[in-house]
Structure 1
Amino acid sequence: MVSDNSTNIRLENVERAVGQLSDRVGDIAKFMERLVSIEERNGFMIQKHDELKESFKESIATLTANQVATDQKVSALQEKMIRMMAIFSVIAAATSFVAPYLVKALMTGAPS
C-alpha cells in the first residue's frame, strides 16, 4: 500500500471526525438519560399531584356533607327555639292577665 501525505491527512481528518461524532453521540446519550430521569420525576410528581387532588376532592365532599347536616341541625334548633318562645310568650301573657286576680284573691282571702 502506498502511503502518501494526502492520504494520511485524510485518514487523520476521518479519525478526528469519527472522534467528534463519538463525543457528540455520548453527549446526546447523556442528554437523553437526563431527559428520561426528568420525565420519570415529572411522572412521579404528576401522580402525587393527582392523588393530592383526589384527596382534596374527597375532603371537600365530606366537609360539604357535614355542612349540610349542620345546617339541618341548626334549622331544627331554630324551629324549636321559635316554638319555645311562642309558648313562653303565651305563658307570660296568661300570667300577666291572671296575676292581678291571683294577687287580689290572695289579699282578700288572707286573714287580717
Structure 2
Amino acid sequence: MSRAGLVDHYIKESAKPEFEIDQIRKELEPKGVPEEDIRAIVRLVDNDMQKRELNKSSRNKSKEYIRIGAVLTFTGLSITIGTYTGAIAMGNSFMLMYGPIVVGISLMIGGWLESKK
C-alpha cells in the first residue's frame, strides 16, 4: 500500500474511540515500512486528529458564547422592564440597561457566526 493509502487508512481508523496513535508504528514496523515513512504517516494522522479536536472545541466555545449572550440579554431586559413597570422601585424614573443588552446580543451573534464556520 502506498504512503497516501496508509495515511487515509489510519485517518479513518483514528476516528474510532479505541484508536491509539502508537498502534500505527506497532502495525507498520513488522511489515518493513521504512522509518521515515512511519514518522510521516504518524505526523499526518496526528495533525488530522488535532484538527478534529480543535474544531470540536471551537463549536463548544461558540455555544458557550451564545449561552452567555442570552443570559446577559435576558438580565438587561429583565432589569429594564422591571424598573419601567415599577416591579423594581426606582421612584419616577427607570433604568435602561443597554450595556448588557448590546453586549449580550453581540455575543449571541458572534457565537452564531463562529458556529457557521
| TM-score calculated relative to the size of structure 1 | 0.47
Q: Normalized per residue, which structure has more helix?
A: 1
- Of structures 1 and 2, the larger Rg is shown by 1
**Higher-RCO chain (CA-CA 8 Å, sequence separation at least 6):** 2
